[in-house]
Chains A and B, each alone.
Chain A
Amino acid sequence: MSTFSRRGFPKDLLASIANCLNFVDSLRFRGVCKSWRSSINRYKTPTFPRKLPFSISSDDPVFPNWVMHIGYSPKTVSKDLNLLDYRAIEIATAYIIRFNNRSRFPPPRMGVLVHVREDKGDKLIKLNIAITVGSHVIEVIVDGFEAK
């Protein structure tokens, strides 16, 4: 009987591994082969509540309860944050998003404000997220945070 080393990698195991992938990787690896494409859902179902992938502080006097601005940047894409993981409760269009000096990226010219909220125990935390309009994917800029 042949051992595992001499056999091909079983396809059902690919699905288990695909489950552990982050969002961007899982999208890309749907292009590996047909069985992997069918074993990875197109979008992972957003679950709630989710923790943000980084810690956030509030020091923005203008938008004290902004969690982040997500601005357009042609060369880099965000692999840290999947907006589908958050439940949007309100959307508004905004032109000229305020630029944060701490950010490494150029200021976005136009964007959409997405309000999301996250239940944390019995405390409701409101998060506001801005994303730019356009066909490209967007960069995350952490801006400020306020929990009330």
Chain B
Amino acid sequence: MASTDDKVILKSSEGECFEVDMAVASHLQIVKSVLEDCEGSSDKVVSLFIVEAKYVAMIIEYYKNYVELKEKHEEGGFEEKLKEFEKQFLEQIDKKELKGLVMAVNYLNAPALFDVVCTAIAKHIENKSVEYVREYFGIVNDFTAEEEAQIREEHRWAYDGVNDD
């Protein structure tokens, strides 16, 4: 039987609890440092106050596979297998969720997944119009009309041929 010492409980903003192996949770820098601060305490619950359960589940899924693949392919081939998994992983996540996920991953300070999600978002907004990007991220256009016209004029060609959606 696995020792309970190797487990930690992550609590989402809704109060949902996820029991996770330490090997998985230690990839989240924030969890790692919280546990280090409370060393010796029997309480192994870490509250992630602002992360919703669906993102906690995604992040756990990613690092669970990350840890498993790393163990299984210790002798090589880990990176290719991880890439394959990352592709499947991203296919399940809708574009709006990517935004929530990147914020959650940034908060939890999980570098490997952070790079994956940033790249996925960049890929999603590839060839999209400036207007689409503003809407996607909820950014308010803070340029004046003159400034914007000037900016567009600078690289007019870069604005041609973008996708409509």
**Real binding pair:** yes
Main secondary structure of the interface of B (DSSP, over half): helix
When distances are taken between beta carbons in the complex, the residues of chain B under 8 Å from A77 are 157-158, 160-161
When distances are taken between beta carbons in the complex, the residues of chain A under 8 Å from B141 are 32-33
Within 8 A of B (CB), among A11-53: 13-14, 16-22, 24-25, 27-34, 36-37
Residues B13 and A32 in contact, CB atoms below 8 Å apart: no
- How many residue pairs link A and B with beta carbons under 8 A? The number is 97
CA distance A11 to B126 in the complex (A): 19
Q: Pick the contact of B133 from A5, A29, A37 — CB < 8 Å?
A: A29
Encoded as 1 (CB less than 8 Å from any A CB) or 0, chain B from 137 to 165 comes to 11111110000100110010111111000
Is A120 close to B, CB under 8 A?
Answer: no
Residues A25 and B50 in contact, CB atoms below 8 Å apart: no
When distances are taken between beta carbons in the complex, the residues of chain A under 8 Å from B127 are 25, 79
Residues B151 and A136 in contact, CB atoms below 8 Å apart: no
CA distance A100 to B126 in the complex (A): 30
When distances are taken between beta carbons in the complex, the residues of chain B under 8 Å from A36 are 139
CA distance A32 to B159 in the complex (A): 12
Is A4 close to B, CB under 8 A?
Answer: yes
Main secondary structure of the interface of A (DSSP, over half): loop
CA distance A3 to B50 in the complex (A): 4
When distances are taken between beta carbons in the complex, the residues of chain A under 8 Å from B143 are 31, 33-34
CA distance A16 to B121 in the complex (A): 10
Residues A28 and B159 in contact, CB atoms below 8 Å apart: yes
CA distance A4 to B100 in the complex (A): 6
Residues B138 and A8 in contact, CB atoms below 8 Å apart: yes
Q: Pick the contact of B137 from A3, A9, A19 — CB < 8 Å?
A: A9
Residues B134 and A32 in contact, CB atoms below 8 Å apart: yes
User: Which residue of chain B is the closest to A77 with respect to CB atoms?
Assistant: B157
User: Which residue of chain B is the closest to A7 with respect to CB atoms?
Assistant: B103
A78 to chain B, nearest CB (A): 9
Residues B151 and A30 in contact, CB atoms below 8 Å apart: yes
A121 to chain B, nearest CB (A): 21
User: Which residue of chain A is the closest to B137 with respect to CB atoms?
Assistant: A9
When distances are taken between beta carbons in the complex, the residues of chain A under 8 Å from B28 are none
Residues B50 and A1 in contact, CB atoms below 8 Å apart: yes
Encoded as 1 (CB less than 8 Å from any B CB) or 0, chain A from 72 to 83 comes to 000011010000
When distances are taken between beta carbons in the complex, the residues of chain B under 8 Å from A110 are none
CA distance A2 to B50 in the complex (A): 6
B115 to chain A, nearest CB (A): 8
Residues of A within 8 A of B (CB): 1-5, 7-10, 13-14, 16-22, 24-25, 27-34, 36-37, 76-77, 79, 136-137
Q: Which 5 A-B pairs have the closest CB atoms?
A: A20-B122, A4-B103, A28-B158, A31-B151, A137-B157
